[in-house]
């Protein structure tokens, strides 16, 4: 091949202008293969195609198709915030019983466990007021002790309760008195005490040993709604206010969450998303003793403010509801040694980080008539919430689901 290269050069010297140009082309061609033969590349190499540009996700279409393809889901509403602004808001389906009204940012969805995040803020406000040390025996702040009778010398702290490590059962049916599961008219203002004391006090008429998990308190992290109600009552004891009133005055009002409440009569009834049973029959709005974690009504527009205040270090629109250090404590997660939390989550102070979504901290919730998820990424100052008025569809909307993975892919494009 080198000889051919030299012959081509001789042709250039002797040829005409046109032949010279043709010969130059031949030389370049030959030179390329000379380079290959001398080690400039591999004869087996294939030039890789250019990396395709990532496909932009149409989130509106994703939500619309999600509801259209799951006819048991009446509606879904999603909102995302970033750097202090709402960057996305969309809903699909219909929220009313007639199936004619599309949800808006003011539509009020009944929630379940994401309401625990409100409890976390209320507790840290007590810490900032000097009324609570979360590492002290929680019983010193109450009129009754909180001890597992099988381990009477093991102190149970507020931190343990906030991390679902106090050893209390959820509880499931049969693990506690049926009084905890009674359903009441939504207009009733329910009292957490004295039932919370009776449930936890050995010898009372409703006490059952099965409210405690096997093993010493602190040995396992497992969801306990009973523990969350105890924490809500702790807020009442320390503040002197009913939990409903405390949240309205100290959290919802300062954040401009004007439509949000745990108390149904407070709500704009025309904005409340209808609830349906598993057969898609309309059901009435009711309340129960677990209302602090199963009866909060809020909207994507209101919840946007809740996400923003946490992302902004406890301050929103000039109102400081928490100090930045308190927010950091809420979001500082650890990996439990014996982890029985949903989604194999790391745990902060009530806030959770699902294993499949590292760096995203929030909470999920699924009741018989509602399922939802909210997560924030403090590093990139972004967060989202998704509400539905269909129950027990964790596998469709929770971390690791196809919809949730698509949402996270979309968030990365923002």
In a domain, 107, yes or no: yes
The pLDDT mean for the chain works out to 89
For the full predicted model, state whether its pTM sits above 0.85: yes
Residue 127 lies in a domain: yes
Are 27 and 63 found together in one domain?
no
Whether residues 13 and 79 share a domain: the answer is no
pLDDT computed for residue 277 by the predictor: 80
φ, ψ of residue 60 in degrees (nearest 5): -60, -45
**Nearest to residue 329, comparing CAs of 159, 178, 210, 182?**
159
Task: Check whether 41 has a pLDDT greater than 90.
Answer: no
Q: What is the pLDDT of residue 137?
A: 98
In this prediction, residue 303 carries a pLDDT of 98
Same-domain check for residues 404 and 319 = yes
CA dihedral 198, 202, 208, 212 (to 10 degrees): 100
Determine the average pLDDT of the residues in 269-298.
93
The packing angle between helices 116-128 and 225-239, to 10°, is 40
Task: Write the pLDDT tens digit of every residue in 120-177.
Answer: 999 999 999 999 999 999 999 999 999 999 999 999 999 999 999 999 999 999 999 9
The per-residue pLDDT for 54 is 61
Residue 208 in any domain: the answer is no
Position 29 pLDDT exceeds 80: no
Evaluate if residue 9 carries a pLDDT over 70.
no
Are 118 and 22 in a shared domain?
A: no
Same domain assignment for residues 12 and 74: no
Check pLDDT > 60 for residue 6. no
Q: Tens digit of pLDDT for each residue in 332-391?
A: 999 999 999 999 999 999 999 999 999 999 999 998 889 999 999 999 999 999 999 999
Domain range enclosing 6: 2-33
26 and 85 in a common domain: no
* Confidence band of 33 (pLDDT split at 50, 70, 90): very low
C-alpha distance from residue 236 to each of 139, 145, 162, 242, 327 (Å) = 14, 16, 16, 6, 21
Whether residues 64 and 15 fall in one domain = no
Assess whether pLDDT exceeds 80 at residue 15: no
Let me know if residue 143 belongs to a domain. Answer: no
* One domain for residues 383 and 300: yes
Q: Identify whether residues 334 and 254 lie together within a single domain.
A: yes
Whether residues 63 and 25 fall in one domain: no
pLDDT of residue 240: 98
7 lies in the same domain as 94? no
Q: In this structure, is residue 53 part of a structural domain? A: no
Give the relative orientation of helices 17-35 and 2-14 as an angle to the nearest 10 degrees: 160
Other C-beta atoms lying within 10 Å of the C-beta of residue 13: 8
Whether 393 contacts 79, CB under 8 Å: no
Residue 165 located in a structural domain: no
Determine the pLDDT at residue 37: 32
Q: What digits encode the pLDDT tens for the residues 59-89?
A: 999 999 999 999 899 999 999 999 999 999 9
What is the separation of C-alpha 10 from the centre of its chain, rounded to a whole number of angstroms? 75
3 state SS of 400: coil
In this prediction, residue 52 carries a pLDDT of 55
**Alpha helices per DSSP H over 276-377:** 291-294, 300-311, 324-331
Whether residue 308 lies inside any domain: the answer is yes
DSSP per position, 16-81: -HHHHHHHHHHHHHHHHHHHIIIIIS-TT--PPPPPPPPPPP-HHHHHHHHHHT-TT--EEEEEEE
Residues ≥6 apart with Cβ < 8 Å to 332: 348, 349
In a domain, 408, yes or no: yes
Does residue 35 register a pLDDT over 80? Answer: no
Query: Quick check: 77 and 83 in contact, CB under 8 A?
Result: no
Residue 17: band (very low, low, confident or very high) from pLDDT cuts 50, 70, 90? very low
- Asked if 114 and 25 sit in the same domain, the reply is no
Is residue 128 within 8 A of residue 235, CB to CB? The reply is no
* Domain at 76, CATH number: 3.40.710.10
How much is the pLDDT for 57? 96
Q: Check residues 325 and 44 and name the one with the higher pLDDT.
A: 325
Give the total number of structural domains in the chain. Answer: 2
Task: Assess whether pLDDT exceeds 90 at residue 51.
Answer: no
Spatial separation of the C-alpha atoms in residues 389 and 193, rounded to whole Å: 30
């Amino acid at each position: 091949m080198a000889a051919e290269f030299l012959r081509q050069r001789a042709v250039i010297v002797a040829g005409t202008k046109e032949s010279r140009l043709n010969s130059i082309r031949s030389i370049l061609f030959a030179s390329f293969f000379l380079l290959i033969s001398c080690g400039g590349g591999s004869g087996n190499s294939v030039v890789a195609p250019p990396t395709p540009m990532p496909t932009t996700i149409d989130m509106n279409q994703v939500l619309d198709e999600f509801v259209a393809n799951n006819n048991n889901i009446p509606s879904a509403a999603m909102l995302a915030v970033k750097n202090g602004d709402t960057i996305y808001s969309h809903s699909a389906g219909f929220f009313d019983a007639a199936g004619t009204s599309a949800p808006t940012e003011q539509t009020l969805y009944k929630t379940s466990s994401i309401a625990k995040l409100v409890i976390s803020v209320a507790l840290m406000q007590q810490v900032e007021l000097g009324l609570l040390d979360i590492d002290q025996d929680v019983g010193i702040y109450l009129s009754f002790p909180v001890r597992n009778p099988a381990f009477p010398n093991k102190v149970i702290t507020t931190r343990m309760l906030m991390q679902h490590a106090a050893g209390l059962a959820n509880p499931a049916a049969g693990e506690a008195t049926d009084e905890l599961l009674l359903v009441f008219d939504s207009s009733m203002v329910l009292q957490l005490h004295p039932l919370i004391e009776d449930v936890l006090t050995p010898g009372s008429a409703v006490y059952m040993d099965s409210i405690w998990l096997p093993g010493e308190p602190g040995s396992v992290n497992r969801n306990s709604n009973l523990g969350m109600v105890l924490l809500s009552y702790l807020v009442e004891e320390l503040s002197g206010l009913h939990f409903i009133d405390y949240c309205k005055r100290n959290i919802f009002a300062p954040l401009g969450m004007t439509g949000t409440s745990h108390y149904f009569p407070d709500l704009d009834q025309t904005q409340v998303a209808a609830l349906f049973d598993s057969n898609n029959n309309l059901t009435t709005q009711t309340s129960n003793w677990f209302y602090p974690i199963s009866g909060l009504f809020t909207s994507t527009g209101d919840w946007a403010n809740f996400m923003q205040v946490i992302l902004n270090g406890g301050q929103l629109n000039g109102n400081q509801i928490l100090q930045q250090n308190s927010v950091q404590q809420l979001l500082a997660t650890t990996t439990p040694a014996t982890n029985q939390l949903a989604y194999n989550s790391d745990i902060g102070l009530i806030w959770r980080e699902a294993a499949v979504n590292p760096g995203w901290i929030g909470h999920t919730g699924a009741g018989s008539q509602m399922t939802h998820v909210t997560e924030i990424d403090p590093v990139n100052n972004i967060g989202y919430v998704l509400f539905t008025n269909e129950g027990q569809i964790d596998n469709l909307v929770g971390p690791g689901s196809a919809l949730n993975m698509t949402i996270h892919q979309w968030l990365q494009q923002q």
